[in-house]
Amino acid sequence: MSLYKRKDSSAWWLKVTIGGRTIQRSTGTHDKIKAQEYHDTLKAQLWQQERLGVKPIRSWREAVVRWLTETSDKATHNEDKRKLAWMHQYLGELTLDDINQDVIDQIRSVKLKEVSKAITNRYLALIRSILIRARDEWEWIDKVPKIRLFKESNSRERSLTFDQVKALMHELPVHQRETVMFALATGLRQRNVLALEWSQVNLELRHAWIQGTQSKNRRPIAVPLNDTAVKVLQRQIGKHPSSVFTYLGRPLKTANTKAWSNALKRAGITDFRWRIPGQHGSGRLVHLRMSYSA
């Protein structure tokens, strides 16, 4: 029987066999007439693929699954998953052939109301990358809509003066002051600083290291420790058995807290954030282009 009901679903299901290939799936509708139309359309498409060599129609969902599988080693893998989860509301029910300029323009317009042009670009670039791979490597589609990105300025990178750093250090709570001081002394990104563990530190040799799985380019990073960095680490000894930087006995997860924002305000610093990688920024406080002694 081509159309049937399952005990666990109120929608009609179909079963189609063409050239030895069998497809069973939900029609997504409770209306038997619409279910029959869906069945007939799918059967015709499968026949064209089998007899005429027409490319099978692939869904955005299929492309997402394959993309995430093939790029699982990317440093931004989790960030891709977060972006794709947001895109699902606009692309989740579409085939790759359905994704045209109008769909892209809608996503661009909606996202721009939520975030900056730079972050909107990250979403658009991800869509473009998936579609290009679907065309050039997977051969699932023949063409890709032109996806225009916004022009970006470099204004997001800024430097603080020594006096501003001094004022900020004075206002920050001790646990955050230590992380900032260590970041300035080593040039490490926020994520690498906060995730640092004692197993990655050798105070005797004045050396630390970031594992390849924790770095942006997937390569290990050697971190020489100057006097400031060593003093910061020495002050953390005994606070936690594995994590270096903690607050109230728990490892720090982020630096951009309410305490951070309040400290910036008291220091008279505006429009400045210590970003983590993936938030359209390097995550490095080294952009301050200065050092600060303990």
Q: Tens digits of per-residue pLDDT, 70-121? A: 988 877 888 899 999 999 999 998 889 889 999 999 999 999 998 888 889 9
- Kindly state whether residues 31 and 68 are assigned to the same domain: no
> Does residue 37 sit in the same domain as residue 10?
yes
Pair (193, 279) in one structural domain: yes
**What is the H or E stretch that residue 78 is in?**
helix 77-91
Question: Are 208 and 254 within one domain?
Answer: yes
Residue 215 near residue 192, CB atoms below 8 Å: yes
Q: What is the pLDDT of residue 189?
A: 84
Tokens of 81: 């998953």
The pLDDT of residue 109: 93
User: Angle at the Cα of 49 (from 48 to 52), degrees rounded to 5?
Assistant: 60
- Angle, nearest 10°, between helix axes 174-186 and 227-236? 150
Q: Please check whether residues 36 and 66 belong to one and the same domain.
A: no
Q: Is 155 part of a structural domain of the chain?
A: no
Q: Say how many domains are in the chain.
A: 3
Let me know whether 178 and 260 are in one domain.
yes
Identify whether 150 is part of a domain.
Answer: no
Q: What is the pLDDT of residue 22?
A: 76
In the predicted model, residues of the chain with pLDDT beneath 70 are 1, 19, 21, 48-55, 153-160, 216-217, 271, 273, 275-294
What pTM does this model have? 0.48
Residues 167 and 237 occupy one common structural domain? yes
List the CATH number of the domain containing 92: 1.10.150
Among 119, 136, 153, which residue terminates a domain?
A: 136
CATH code where residue 177 lies: 1.10.443.10
Run of H or E including 9: strand 9-18
Tell me what pLDDT residue 1 has.
Answer: 55
Query: What span, in angstroms and rounded, lies between the C-alpha atoms of 238 and 244?
Result: 9
Judgement on whether residues 73 and 166 belong to the same structural domain of the protein: no
175 within domain boundaries: yes
Residue type for position 7? K
Q: What is the domain range of residue 192?
A: 162-288
> Is residue 66 located within the same domain as residue 47?
no
pLDDT the model gives residue 282 = 46
Within a domain: residue 144?
no
Residue 258 in any domain: the answer is yes
Alpha-carbon gap, residue 38 to 255, rounded angstroms: 52
Residue 293 lies in a domain: no
H or E stretch covering 250: strand 250-251
48 and 74 belong to one structural domain? no
Residue 276 lies in a domain: yes
Q: What is the pLDDT of residue 281?
A: 45
Q: In terms of domains, do 41 and 67 share one?
A: no
Q: Is residue 91 part of a domain?
A: yes
| Model pLDDT, residue 28 | 77
**Same domain for 73 and 41:** no
